[in-house]
Homo-oligomer: A and B are copies of this chain.
Amino acid sequence: METHPPLPRDRELDEGTYAQVRALITSGELAAGSWLREKTLAERIGVSRTPIREALNRLSAEGMVEISRNKGAQVVSFTPDDVAGLYDVRAGFEPHAALLAVPRLTDQDVDRLAELAAAMEEAVRSGQLDSLSALNSAFHGLFVDRCGNRHFATALQTLMRPAVVAHTFRKYSPEALNRSMLHHAELVAAARARDGEWAEAIMRTHILAARNAAGARHDRH
Contact = CB atoms under 8 A, between A and B. Distances in A.
A214 B87 CA distance: 33
Residue of A57, A148, A151, A152 most packed against chain B (CB within 10 A): A151
A85 interface: yes
A82 interface: yes
Nearest to A86: B151
Interface string A51-86: 001100110111100000000000000000010011
A11 interface: no
Interface in A37-57: 53-54, 57
Interface stretch (A25-33, A154-162, A197-205): A154-162
How many copies are assembled?
2
A89 B149 contact: yes
Contact of A155 (B57, B82, B149, B159): B159
A82 B151 contact: yes
Interface residues of A, number: 30
B58 A150 contact: no
A82 to B, nearest CB: 6
Contacts of A63: 151, 154-155
Contact of A58 (B61, B88, B148, B151): B61
A148 to B, nearest CB: 7
Given A57-B58, A61-B61, A62-B61, A155 B93 contact: yes
Nearest to A63: B154
A85 B54 contact: no
Nearest to A166: B151
List of 9 A-B pairs having minimum Cβ-Cβ separation, nearest first: A61-B61, A85-B149, A155-B159, A155-B158, A89-B152, A158-B158, A155-B155, A58-B61, A57-B57
